A and B are shown apart, each in its own frame.
Chain A
Amino acid sequence: TQLLEQSPQFLSIQEGENLTVYCNSSSVFSSLQWYRQEPGEGPVLLVTVVTGGEVKKLKRLTFQFGDARKDSSLHITAAQPGDTGLYLCAGHVTGTASKLTFGTGTRLQVTL
């Protein structure tokens, strides 16, 4: 059973469109991170959210942590080809500080 489910699994959009990626769980997370990974490289940390209801912005990316700390979303405004990659949410289940549980991943392709 996958602890963190991401949707959609794959998204192909054109430059300039907006999109939202969801990360859902039945477990409570003490913190949640979003990573972006390009082919043949390791994941790169984008943001960490720790407080229920927290919203963080990183240029055209907006991250939100659910009030109950069981879900999160990533919204990209005016997507660009450089946003193409695998987006992964990952979090620490409350009480398991050391292990990071990864989501199923969302592969985004932005075309001109």
Chain B
Amino acid sequence: GAVVSQHPSWVICKSGTSVKIECRSLDFQATTMFWYRQFPKQSLMLMATSNEGSKATYEQGVEKDKFLINHASLTLSTLTVTSAHPEDSSFYICSARVTSGPYEQYFGPGTRLTVT
């Protein structure tokens, strides 16, 4: 149980275009999902908390107009990188939190974004 999927697993886009990444909880409902960014050989950095039916909460320093998050259902959250630039190239990982117990998070396999 507690499987989270991401799509696509990798994407290459041109500078100035927008890219949408999907995060789905496959076998459980997640009122809260999280989006992380990870640079090579570094730990995960939380970008934003996505709550179903409400606006996302962004971490300090993360541009909400650049990284648009939508959590329209209990099993789907999307991250759209708008007007992408090469510095947005990174590994983006989502997670979904189970609603009971010690708030364990289960992670998706990640999406490798390369902006050329």
Interface residues of A (CB under 8 A from B): 30-31, 33, 35, 40-45, 48, 50, 88, 90, 92, 97-100, 102-105, 107
What's the A-B contact tally at a CB cutoff of 8 Å?
A: 57
- Identify the interface centre among B43, B45, B104: most chain A CB within 10 Å of its CB: B43
Q: Which residues of A contact B43 (CB under 8 A)?
A: 88, 102-105
The answer to whether B102 and A50 have CB atoms under 8 Å apart is: yes
Q: How far is the CB of B38 from chain A (nearest CB, A)?
A: 9
> Contacts of A50 on B, CB cut-off 8 Å?
102
Contact call B107/A44, Cβ cutoff below 8 A: yes
Interface centre among B104, B106, B108 (most CB of A within 10 A): B104
The reply to whether B104 and A99 form a contact with Cβ atoms under 8 Å apart is: no
Please list 27 pairs of residues, one from A and one from B, whose beta carbons are closer than 8 Å in the complex, sorted by A's number: A31-B103, A35-B107, A40-B91, A40-B110, A41-B110, A42-B4, A42-B109, A42-B110, A43-B93, A43-B107, A44-B107, A45-B106, A48-B101, A48-B102, A88-B43, A90-B105, A92-B102, A92-B103, A98-B49, A98-B97, A99-B49, A100-B34, A100-B103, A102-B44, A102-B46, A104-B43, A107-B41
The closest CB in chain B to the CB of A101 belongs to: B46
Where the two chains meet, the residues of B that have a C-beta atom closer than 8 Å to any C-beta of A are 4, 6, 32, 34, 41-46, 49, 91, 93, 95, 97, 101-110, 112
B22 smallest CB distance to A (angstroms): 14
Residues of A within 8 A of B104 (CB): 33, 45, 48
- Give the docked Cα–Cα distance between A99 and B93 (Å): 15
Report if A100-B42 is in contact (Cβ < 8 Å); known contacts: A41-B110, A42-B110. no
Contact B44 A88, beta carbon cutoff 8 Å: yes
Kindly provide the distance from the CB of A76 to the nearest chain B CB, expressed in whole angstroms.
19
- Bound-state CA distance A107–B40 (Å) is 12
User: Looking across the interface, which residue of chain A has its beta carbon closest to that of B107?
Assistant: A42
In the complex, A45→B32 CA distance in Å?
Answer: 17
